[in-house]
Amino acid sequence: MSKPYTLQELLVIAVAKEIHDHENVILGVGLPTTAGALAKALYAPHATLMMESGIIDFEPLLPLNHIADAHSCRGFSYATDLFSAFTMTYRGFVDVCFLGVGQVDQYGNLNTTCIGDYYKPTMRLPGSGGACDFLSYAKRTVLTMLGGEFVEKLDYFTSPGYLDGGNRREESGLFPQGTGPTMLLSTKGIFRFDPVTKEMYLAQIHPRVKVEDVKKDVPWDLKIAPDLSETPHPTDEEIDFIRHFAPAMSAGRELAMELTIANLMKQVKG
């Protein structure tokens, strides 16, 4: 039996496995950058890691603070600009990208802009950033949902998944064939999209989670894969990599924040 792991470590590993060797990968900040580093170290050594700020082909030495963090890698192979990072995505050179989720509906459409009314928001979220254009044109998109929610209807439609489901994305003429979200990772399981209806279903469940626990977060009648599998126990090698590379990721956002603030207050008091 391998050593004990944290939930966040399990999540990072699940995401890292979506990166295949030799792929071009756009990484978002947070969990995906740690996943990218893990993939590059253990599963996909020839992957080209990229960020929309124009940092292309980098080897992260530290968890990135944001998507323009050149301090966390020792140089990189290609310095281009944001404009070109998106036009290369538009032209089909990006195999997989990773996006965070505020709200998601059953067809993988995303809201990262606001909760409540757009003009007078209950909660103003960050906005699109690169999300809308990446979800439109990357060949595959992996959605990571740590604090977000499943909803029947988005409060604001920021980024296009499969629109109203079925063939609607392809019929719209706005997107290359075969693109769209391929997987959603939550703290409870892994969801994929039915090839015909494009409806999100539960494909894999994390250890100690029951199907009912997953269903209670989802406002539609969630379908469960007949061959539902359990997310495998991480290996020692995987755990050691993450804990060494990004200890705050192992701890999870809340605990890491609590420990950081405690340390900050200690410094303020001198």
Neighbour-count burial for 3-35, b at 16+ CB within 10 Å, e otherwise? eebbbbbbbbbbbbbbbeeebbbbbbbbbbbbb
Residue choice 121, 166, 232, 252 for contact with another protein (CB under 8 A): 121
Q: Which of 77, 4, 2, 62 is nearest to 29 (CA)?
A: 62
How many residues in total does the chain contain?
A: 270
What is the footprint of another protein within residues 191-220 (CB under 8 A)? none
Residue choice 26, 39, 132, 214 for contact with another protein (CB under 8 A): 132
Q: What are phi and psi of 133, to 5 degrees?
A: -75, -35
Q: Considering the complex, state which of residue 119 and residue 195 has its C-beta at the smaller distance from another protein.
A: 119
Q: Total residues contacting another protein (rule CB under 8 A)?
A: 56
Residue choice 74, 153, 210, 216 for contact with another protein (CB under 8 A): 74
Residue 52 annotated among the catalytic residues of the structure = yes
Q: Which of 242, 237, 255, 248 is nearest to 36 (CA)?
A: 242
| Two tokens, residue 202 | 């539960």
Residue choice 41, 70, 209, 211 for contact with another protein (CB under 8 A): 70
Instruction: Let me know: does 237 contact 42? Beta carbons within 8 Å.
Output: yes
Q: Which of 9, 18, 23, 52 is catalytic?
A: 52
Q: Report, in Å, the least distance between residue 132 CB and another protein.
A: 5
Q: Which of 151, 159, 150 is nearest to 126 (CA)?
A: 159
End-to-end C-alpha distance for the chain, whole angstroms: 44
* Rounded distance between C-alpha atoms, residue 27 and residue 96, angstroms: 9
Q: Report, in Å, the least distance between residue 211 CB and another protein.
A: 27
Q: Considering the complex, state which of residue 6 and residue 128 has its C-beta at the smaller distance from another protein.
A: 128
Residue choice 1, 4, 46, 119 for contact with another protein (CB under 8 A): 119
What is the footprint of another protein within residues 43-62 (CB under 8 A)? 51-55
Q: Which of 213, 203, 256, 206 is nearest to 63 (CA)?
A: 256
Q: Report, in Å, the least distance between residue 18 CB and another protein.
A: 21
Full strand arrangement of the beta sheet holding 149-150: 110-111, 103-104, 149-150
The count of other CB atoms within 10 Å of the CB of residue 192 is 16
Residue choice 71, 153, 210, 216 for contact with another protein (CB under 8 A): 71
What is the footprint of another protein within residues 233-262 (CB under 8 A)? 260-261
Binding mask 140-169 for another protein (x = CB under 8 A): -------x--------xxxxx--x------
Active site residues: 52
Residue ranges in contact with another protein by CB under 8 A: 51-55, 65-71, 74-75, 79-83, 86, 90, 113, 118-121, 123-133, 135-137, 147, 156-160, 163, 172, 174-175, 260-261, 264, 267-268, 270
